[in-house]
Structure 1
Amino acid sequence: MLTIQNLTKAFGANKAVDNVSLHFDRPMMIGVIGASGAGKSTLLRMLNRLETETSGTITFEGREISALKGGDKRRWQADCAMIFQQFNLVPRMDVVSNVLHGTLNRRSTIATMFNLYPQADIHRAIDILDRLGIAAHAAKRAEALSGGQQQRVAIARAVMQNPKIVLADEPIASLDPMNAQIVMDDLRRIHDEDGRMVIANLHTLDTARRYCDRVIGMRAGRVVFDGTPAQLTTGVARDIYGADASFSEAATSTSIDTLDRPTQAKRAERA
Structure 2
Amino acid sequence: MLKLANVTKSYGENIAVHSASFAIDKPMMVGVIGRSGAGKSTLLRMLNRLTDATSGEITFDGLNVTALRGTAKRQWQSQCAMIFQQFNLVPRMDVVSNVLHGTLNRRSTFSTMFNLYPDEDIHRAIDILERLGIAQHAPKRAEALSGGQQQRVAIARALMQDPKIILADEPIASLDPMNAQVVMQSLRDIHEQDGRMVIANLHTLDTARRYCDRVIGMRDGAIVFDDTPEMLTTSSAREIYGADASFSEATTSTQIEPDETVQRRLVDIAAQ
Same fold (TM over 0.5): yes
1:146-201 deviations in Å (ceiling 9; x for gaps) = 00000000000000100000000000000000000000000000000000000000
Please state how far the C-alpha of 1:211 moved relative to its aligned partner: 0.3
Aligned residue runs from structure 1 range 44-123, under 5 A: 44-123=44-123
Match status 1:13 vs 2:13: yes
User: What's the CA shift for 1:255?
Assistant: 1.0
TM-score by length of 2: 0.94
SS in 1 for 2:30: strand
Q: Secondary structure at the match of 1:256?
A: coil
Superposition pairs of residues 149-228 of structure 1, within 5 angstroms: 149-228=149-228
Ranges in structure 1 where 5+ consecutive residues have no aligned partner: 259-271
Aligned twin of 1:247: 247
What CA distance in whole angstroms lies between the structure 2 residues aligned with 1:110 and 1:13?
A: 44
What's the CA shift for 1:89? 0.1
Secondary structure of the structure 2 residue equivalent to 1:27? coil
Structure 2 portions without partners, runs of 5+: 259-272
After superposition, the C-alpha distances for 1:70-112 in whole angstroms (9 at most, x for unaligned) are 1111110000000000000000000000000000011111111
Map 1:104-143 → 2, pairs under 5 A: 104-143=104-143
In structure 1, what is the Cα distance between the partners aligned to 2:195 and 2:205? 24
Q: CA-to-partner distance for each residue in 1:109-138, whole Å, 9 max, x for gaps? A: 111111010000000000000000000000
Identity, % of aligned positions: 76
CA distance in 2, matches of 1:17, 1:107: 35
Look up the equivalent residue of 1:40 and give its one-letter code.
K
Shift of 1:257: 2.1
Letter in 2 for 1:184: M
Q: CA separation in 1, counterparts of 2:155 and 2:169?
A: 12
Give the secondary-structure state (helix, strand or coil) at the position aligned to 2:104: helix
Cα distance in 1 for residues equivalent to 2:122 and 2:57? 37
Q: What per-residue deviation string (whole Å, max 9, x for no partner) do you get for residues 48-77 of structure 1?
A: 000000000100000101111111111100
CA–CA distance in structure 2, aligned partners of residues 51 and 109 of structure 1: 25
Query: Given residue 143 of structure 1, which amino acid in structure 2 is its aligned partner?
Result: E
Separation (CA, whole Å) in 1 of partners of 2:65 and 2:142: 33
**Residue 145 of structure 2 is aligned to residue 145 of structure 1:** yes
Pairs aligned (count): 258
RMSD: 0.7
Structure 1: how far apart are the matches of 2:169 and 2:161?
A: 17
Q: Deviations over 1:223-247 (max 9, x none)?
A: 0000000000000000000001111
Match of 2:115, as an amino acid? N
Mapped partners of 1:70, 1:106: distance in 2:
14
